[in-house]
């Protein structure tokens, strides 16, 4: 376990998958981390996995699509730790893989609410804290996914929101300059988590066929985020792609 850094992070979607892996990497490197997610029991499991660093973790049950819950998350972080140095906008949701014309409006709205509006609400609150604290500034890292570049079949809601995350990253990066807030994006392809277990049995490809896809250890993502988070605010990784080497991304479609 690393020594305490006096750095403070909020990780959304911290109860599983990429969010859990990144949270544990930050805690292991000495960060204090607010673990945000909808399921309190899953957040407690993440905190328990931190071992000796458990005391630096604060689970906060919060649905990022709920403005009041987001406000409580950021106010609790400020009250507990005094500042905010990093926001990892990672919480995400998908919709059933159905034909575009068959996707329900409720499913569309839920994906937009979590993936896009949730990231926007958290970014707003990060700006409010980071611009007013001393020392001023901080870093925001958005989880864009390689779906921010190219779609999978039958993924219109997820793909549209991830393309929009790129716009959020660019706008926030520009608007954050005046306040020493660095904003970047990590685009992830096929990290081995609960969400990608179906890759082994096969998923729909661009030509309509079903085929298995390679995955990579989620620790590679955690290491990449830790690198981005550790940069001085005078430097920024604007965009980074981390993906399973042999997955069908280059050449997709």
What is the 3-state secondary structure of 112-167?
HHHHHHHHHHHHHHHHHHHHHCCCCCEEEEEECCHHHCCCCCCCHHHHHHHHHHHH
Question: pLDDT tens digit string along 130-164?
Answer: 999 999 999 999 999 988 888 888 889 999 999 99
Residue 89 to residue 36: CA distance in whole angstroms: 10
Partner residues linked to 91 by β-bridges: none
Is residue 188 within 8 Å of residue 143, measured between CB atoms?
Answer: yes
User: Which residues are known catalytic residues?
Assistant: 158
Residue 149 to residue 69: CA distance in whole angstroms: 30
Q: Classify residue 248: in a domain, yes or no.
A: no
Q: Classify residue 251: in a domain, yes or no.
A: no
- What does the H/E/C string look like for 181-206? EEEEEEEEECECCHHHHHHCCCEECC
| pLDDT at residue 195 in the model | 65
Name which of 22-31, 33-42, 166-175, 241-250 the model is least confident about: 241-250
**CATH code at position 133:** 3.40.50.720
Partner residues linked to 12 by β-bridges: 36
Q: Classify residue 48: in a domain, yes or no.
A: yes
Q: Classify residue 250: in a domain, yes or no.
A: no
Tell if the pTM clears 0.75, that is, is over it: yes
| pLDDT at residue 190 in the model | 87
Give the count of domains, the chain: 1
Q: Classify residue 1: in a domain, yes or no.
A: no
Question: pLDDT tens digit string along 61-114?
Answer: 999 999 999 999 999 999 999 999 999 999 999 998 899 999 999 999 999 999
102 DSSP assignment: G
Q: Classify residue 165: in a domain, yes or no.
A: yes
Which phi and psi (to 5°) does residue 173 adopt? Answer: -60, -45
Q: Classify residue 205: in a domain, yes or no.
A: yes
Judged against a pLDDT cut of 50, whether residue 1 lies above it is answered with no
- Give the domain range for residue 78: 8-243
| pLDDT at residue 207 in the model | 75
Question: pLDDT tens digit string along 185-234?
Answer: 999 988 877 766 677 677 777 777 887 778 899 999 999 999 999 999 99
Is residue 165 within 8 Å of residue 119, measured between CB atoms?
Answer: yes
Judged against a pLDDT cut of 80, whether residue 169 lies above it is answered with yes
Q: Classify residue 58: in a domain, yes or no.
A: yes
């Amino acid at each position: 376990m690393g020594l305490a850094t006096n750095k403070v992070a909020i990780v959304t979607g911290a109860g599983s998958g990429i969010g859990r892996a990144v949270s544990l990497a930050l805690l292991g490197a000495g960060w204090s981390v607010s673990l945000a997610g909808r399921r309190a029991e899953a957040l407690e499991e993440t905190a328990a996995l931190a071992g000796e660093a458990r005391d630096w973790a604060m689970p906060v049950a919060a649905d990022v699509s709920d403005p009041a819950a987001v406000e409580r998350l950021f106010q609790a972080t400020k009250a507990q730790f005094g500042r905010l140095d990093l926001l990892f906008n990672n919480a995400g949701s998908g919709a059933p893989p159905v034909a575009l014309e068959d996707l329900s409006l409720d499913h569309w709205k839920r994906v937009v609410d979590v993936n896009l509006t949730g990231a926007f609400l958290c970014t707003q609150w990060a700006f409010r804290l980071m611009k007013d604290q001393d020392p001023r500034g901080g870093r925001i890292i958005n989880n864009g996914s390689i779906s921010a570049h190219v779609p999978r079949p039958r993924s219109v809601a997820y793909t549209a929101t991830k393309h929009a995350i790129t716009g959020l990253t660019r706008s926030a990066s520009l608007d954050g300059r005046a306040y020493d807030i660095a904003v970047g994006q990590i685009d992830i392809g096929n990290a081995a988590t609960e969400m990608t277990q179906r890759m082994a049995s096969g998923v729909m490809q661009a030509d309509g066929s079903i085929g298995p896809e390679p995955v990579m250890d989620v620790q590679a993502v955690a290491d990449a985020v830790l690198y981005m988070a550790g940069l001085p605010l005078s430097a920024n990784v604007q965009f980074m792609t981390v993906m399973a080497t042999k997955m069908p991304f280059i050449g997709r479609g």
